[in-house]
Amino acid sequence: MKCPICKHGNTHAGTSSLTLERGNSTVVFKRVPAEVCENCGEVFYDATVTSTLLKQADQAASAGVEIDVRRYAAA
């Protein structure tokens, strides 16, 4: 797809890292599947990946995790 941010590059399948914070909890996800703009590097996640990330981050926060670094794993 054409990047909606820079409007010059196209996005391609790739991976990225993402940090989510909630209260005192910080969860870093590595190797998250994403569409990445070849021009500006902007990253886009689909609805399924986003849902999985939010669910896992919520579980970590509920468990009282302060800092967690994990490799993305589909639910």
CATH number at residue 40: 3.10.20
> Is there a domain that residue 1 lies in?
no
Task: Name the pLDDT band for 44 (thresholds 50, 70, 90).
Answer: very high
pLDDT at residue 60, rounded to an integer: 94
In a domain, 47, yes or no: yes
Question: Does 2 reside within a domain?
Answer: no
User: Is 6 domain-assigned?
Assistant: no
Number of structural domains the chain divides into = 1
Give CB contacts under 8 A, 24+ apart, made by 28-36: 28/67, 28/68, 28/69, 28/70, 29/53, 29/56, 29/70, 29/71, 29/72, 30/69, 30/70, 30/71, 30/72, 31/71, 31/72, 32/72, 33/72, 35/1, 35/11, 36/11, 36/12
pLDDT at 75: 65
Average pLDDT of span 41-68: 96
pLDDT band at 73 (very low <50, low <70, confident <90, very high): confident
Residue 31 forms part of a structural domain: yes
